Amino acid sequence: MDAIFRGNKARIERQDKLTFDDLPSGIDAGIKLRPSPRDLDEIGPEFGATWNNYFEHAPDKPVVWLGTFSASAQDLTSNFFLTNLYLSSYAGNNPAAPWGKYFSATYFTGYPISRGRVHISAGLNPYGKLAFEPGYLDHPADLGVLRWAYKRGRELARRMDIYCGELVLGHPNFPKGSQATTHDFARPVGISAPDISYSAEDDKAIDEYHRNTVETTWHSIGTCAMKPRQKGGVVDPRLNVYGVQNLKVADCSIAPANVGANTYNTALAIGEKAAVIIAEDLGIKGISSN
């Protein structure tokens, strides 16, 4: 995939001729992770309330997704949901990265706590720019979760037989003499080998790395959340936009929180329910909400 990501026209033309059945999935394998009590201590106290209220009694909700990725859209830069550590096809935005073949271990948070904001700022001009603030890492707990995920992903990668080192420029800038220092060349470690030891200064380096490179991944939702207006909601339970007449919103933007999965099924469910609501409002007979 390197040639495609770097704009090689001949390679892109060959790829365009492939059928859907010929195309591989970019995600080779993955696992959804929830932290142990020891992990919770490592993530930090800022995450405690969210864990207790949102995750602890909901075993279906993973805190992070971690796995191998062979056709990523971003390399070695932390995304709010996604960070690639070792790439099979370099697609990052660092021009200093040498040409070569890389293996990728990826991670992203399933339910980030930080919230962004988007508002109309051009009056009645529908083409005017929006006042948009993504809010990445506004909540300190998200930094703790990403820090934990970075460490887990690195341990996964260094235990694989194909591991032979790290692309140093794509990792945090650890202090001189740190045990967490990255290496261009290294051998795999055993399954039971001790984990890398990180100091408080190392953790600060990881947090700074995430702040500098944070980015979203796919399936962004929730810009017109269905929840009470006093809690930042935009639409009511019948899809009506607060403060506006004759305007409904019916797409994934009405989700009040993230969906820890592909949003396709969510979009279908919203569309089906919206059809019923709109039909009821129009007085169409024979429509069943069941």
R_g of the chain, CA atoms, integer Å: 22
Percent helix, strand, coil in the chain (nearest 5)? 30, 10, 55
d(CA 164, CA 20) in angstroms, rounded, equals 33
Answer whether residue 23 shows pLDDT above 90: no
- For residue 160, give the amino acid letter: M
- For residue 148, give the amino acid letter: W
The arithmetic mean of pLDDT across residues 268-274, rounded, is: 95
Q: Give the residue from 203, 162, 160 showing the smallest Cα distance to 180.
A: 203
Lowest mean pLDDT among 78-87, 89-98, 256-265, 271-280: 78-87
Mean pLDDT, the chain, rounded, equals 84
Please provide residue 257's backbone torsions phi and psi, each rounded to the nearest 5 degrees: -150, 175
The predicted pLDDT at position 45 comes to 95
Residue 72: pLDDT band with limits 50, 70, 90: very low
Please provide residue 269's backbone torsions phi and psi, each rounded to the nearest 5 degrees: -65, -40
Answer whether residue 80 shows pLDDT above 50: no
The predicted pLDDT at position 142 comes to 96
Catalytic residue among 57, 139, 183, 219: 219
Lowest mean pLDDT among 37-46, 166-175, 184-193: 166-175
Answer whether residue 74 shows pLDDT above 80: no
The predicted pLDDT at position 260 comes to 83
If you average pLDDT over each of 25-34, 93-102, 232-241, which comes out highest?
Answer: 232-241
If you average pLDDT over each of 8-12, 26-30, 164-168, 277-281, which comes out highest?
Answer: 277-281
d(CA 257, CA 255) in angstroms, rounded, equals 6
Q: Write the pLDDT tens digit of every residue in 112-126.
A: 999 888 888 998 898
Annotation says 219 is catalytic:
yes
Cβ contact 83:183 at 8 Å: no
Please give the structure tokens belonging to residue 152.
């887990």
Cβ contact 182:174 at 8 Å: yes
C-alpha distances (whole Å) from 117 to each of 15, 69, 86, 114, 221 are: 38, 30, 32, 10, 12
The predicted pLDDT at position 4 comes to 66
The predicted pLDDT at position 253 comes to 95
Report which DSSP code applies to 4: H
Query: For residue 224, with 0-12 CB atoms within 10 Å meaning exposed, 13-18 middle and 19 or more buried, which class applies?
Result: buried
Cβ contact 105:154 at 8 Å: yes
Answer whether residue 28 shows pLDDT above 70: no
Cβ contact 143:109 at 8 Å: no
Cβ contact 255:225 at 8 Å: yes
The rounded percent of the chain whose pLDDT value lies above 70 is 83
d(CA 20, CA 53) in angstroms, rounded, equals 42
The predicted pLDDT at position 104 comes to 74
Residue 77: pLDDT band with limits 50, 70, 90: very low
Answer whether residue 70 shows pLDDT above 80: no
The rounded percent of the chain whose pLDDT value lies above 90 is 56
The predicted pLDDT at position 219 comes to 79
